[in-house]
């Protein structure tokens, strides 16, 4: 075990599993938007969604634009229930764009629900969501992603962009955090 693995209980998805599924998702997105006359805009949430989105866009065989936004709703391991979303001026109008939100995890659904609302106000031609992980057991809003990499139970996971107190994002796999380690921090 190296220093980055401290507090890891078990690996849920290896780098190889992640690569395979993200490649499949990229092909699905390419097929979905291939015949659309609109421009494709992929919006990802900082910081967690960056790793997934970086891999995903390399598997999309279409011209696309990528934008990054900041959203926050977590304190430690729990959602505060209050969502703060910061949209750049470049996203004031989304007319002529098929928008795909790319995110690492759909947990409570509060952030993604709020983001969808804000983006729909900007009148995109279409709006869909692709998430690497879906945790429906924690949903606190009626949000359901359009495309899912993997469904997971109610575990606290890290790696591949997902963090615990800004650590573990660099792990090349997704793992469950040890509750003992979380409670010790």
Q: List, by residue number, the catalytic residues.
A: 107
Structural domain includes residue 134 = yes
For 47, the domain range is: 15-152
Structural domain includes residue 128 = yes
Map tokens 């890891």 to a residue: 8
CA-closest candidate to residue 142, choices 118, 170, 108:
108
Structural domain includes residue 21 = yes
Structural domain includes residue 176 = no
Give the contacts of 145 (CB within 8 A, at least 6 positions apart). Answer: 103, 106, 112, 129, 130, 131, 134
The predicted structure's pLDDT at residue 141: 86
Give the contacts of 57 (CB within 8 A, at least 6 positions apart). Answer: 26, 42, 64, 66
Helices (H), 91-166: 110-120
Task: Convert the pLDDT of each residue in 83-136 to its tens digit.
Answer: 888 888 999 999 999 999 999 999 989 999 999 999 999 999 999 999 999 999
Classify residue 63 by burial, with Cβ atoms within 10 Å: 0-12, 13-18, 19+. exposed
Structural domain includes residue 132 = yes
Structural domain includes residue 145 = yes
Q: What is the mean pLDDT of the chain?
A: 91
d(CA 157, CA 152): 9
Task: Convert the pLDDT of each residue in 18-53 to its tens digit.
Answer: 999 999 999 999 999 999 999 999 999 999 999 999
How many domains does the chain fold into? 1
d(CA 161, CA 53): 10
Confidence of residue 11 (pLDDT cuts 50, 70, 90): very high
Distance between the two ends of the chain, CA-based, in angstroms? 19
The predicted structure's pLDDT at residue 179: 80
CATH code of the domain containing 82: 3.40.50.2020
Torsion of CA 135, 136, 141, 142, to 10 degrees: 130
Structural domain includes residue 161 = no
């Amino acid at each position: 075990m190296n220093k980055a693995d401290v507090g890891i209980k078990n690996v849920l998805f290896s780098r190889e599993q992640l690569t395979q599924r993200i490649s499949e998702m990229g092909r699905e997105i390419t097929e979905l938007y291939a015949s659309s006359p609109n421009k494709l805009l992929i919006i990802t949430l900082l910081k967690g969604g960056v790793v997934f989105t970086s891999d995903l866009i390399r598997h999309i065989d279409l011209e696309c634009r990528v934008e990054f936004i900041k959203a926050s709703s977590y304190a430690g391991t729990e959602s505060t229930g209050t969502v703060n979303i910061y949209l750049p001026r470049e996203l004031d109008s989304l007319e002529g764009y098929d928008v795909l939100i790319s995110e690492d995890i759909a947990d409570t659904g509060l952030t993604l629900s709020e983001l969808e609302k804000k983006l729909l106000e900007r009148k995109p031609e279409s709006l869909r969501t692709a998430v690497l992980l879906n945790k429906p057991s924690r949903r606190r809003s009626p949000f359901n992603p359009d495309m899912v990499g993997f469904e997971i139970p109610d575990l606290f996971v890290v790696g591949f962009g997902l963090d615990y107190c800004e650590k573990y994002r660099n792990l090349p796999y997704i793992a469950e955090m040890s509750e003992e380690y979380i409670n010790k921090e």
